[in-house]
Amino acid sequence: MASQFTLGKKERLKSRKAIDHLFAKGNKKTIQPLRAVYMLTNDKSLLLGAGASNKNFPKATDRNRVKRLIREAWRLQKNELAEKLAGKAFGLHVFILCTDRELPAYTAVTLAVKKIIHLLEKEIESGQLLK
């Protein structure tokens, strides 16, 4: 049971080339205090990247805290989205950024990630991402 709520090395978006391609060609949605950049890919994986800007969070400890909150919220809620993608011939790359200027609360991040996941599920079901 505990193994389904993981966010391992193979589930993280780390490739600089993939991240650059995602930001150049991906779709963007903002749900305060987060912004999601997402795109379908040919591989059948669901990958997540998380970030916080240097401008909004000058201290590295604050940036790391925000990224940790995003990853934790994603880890606990990604299973619904993973089930929707399980039978598909494509995967999804998602990068979530914090756009707020102050440290968000865990509940705010969790709620925003939940809304992002539901938005992605709806777009996959309706076929809007396939265009």
- Predicted confidence at residue 129, as pLDDT, reads 65
Question: d(Cα 71, Cα 110) in Å, to the nearest integer?
Answer: 10
In this structure, the number of other CB atoms found within 10 A of the CB of residue 10 comes to: 9
pLDDT in the model for residue 103: 96
Residue 30 dihedral angles phi and psi, to the nearest 5°: -115, 125
Q: How far is CA 8 from CA 12, 31, 33, 90, in A?
A: 7, 25, 25, 20
- In the 8-state DSSP scheme, what is residue 104? P
- pLDDT at res. 109: 97
pLDDT score recorded for residue 2: 43
Q: Which two tokens stand for residue 31?
A: 């749900």
Sites in the chain below the pLDDT cut of 70: 1-3, 128-131
pLDDT in tens, 101-127: 999 999 999 999 999 999 999 988 887
Determine the 3-state secondary structure of 100 from DSSP.
coil
Predicted TM-score (pTM) of the model is 0.91
Give all domains of the chain, ordered by start, each with its CATH number: 31-130 (3.30.230)
CA gap 101, 21 in Å, rounded: 26
